Structure 1
């Protein structure tokens, strides 16, 4: 099932995405703790700015990684999980 790629994701209030040297990767900080993201999720998360649509995030990643055919589906999956876990808001 495709995700609505015209939606614009933003991090939920109280959540902060950042690179954490001690974790050697990107993390999502929130009042109750921290989520360490894998490399792919970190790349996607770095493009979540409340301005870009999911489609633009995919396009940006496809420019960087042109030989990854499942990239769009991976971004869709990340957005679904992030929404289910209430990490992001979608507009």
Structure 2
């Protein structure tokens, strides 16, 4: 099991990013959460199977079609044993 903390920069708020991230996470079978930050970025914690988490990181690099991602910071974290993905 892998866990990653992801911060996405660009035009990522007000473009349905969190809802699309939740859909993508559910499709990939990963757990975690996504939320807007006060600085205009979107933050995610994603954990699960290594390959599925890697696919979620790749998804975050593009986001939904309405987003304009300019950067993604990814940090390895300790898995917390989360069982679902939700908007926080």
Q: By the TM > 0.5 criterion, same fold?
A: no
User: Could you say which structure has the higher strand fraction?
Assistant: 2
Point out the structure with max Rg over C-alpha: 1
**Higher RCO structure, 1 or 2 (CA under 8 Å, sep 6+):** 2
Using the size of structure 1 for normalisation, the TM-score is 0.35
Normalised by the length of structure 2, the TM-score is 0.36
Identify the structure with the greater helix proportion.
1
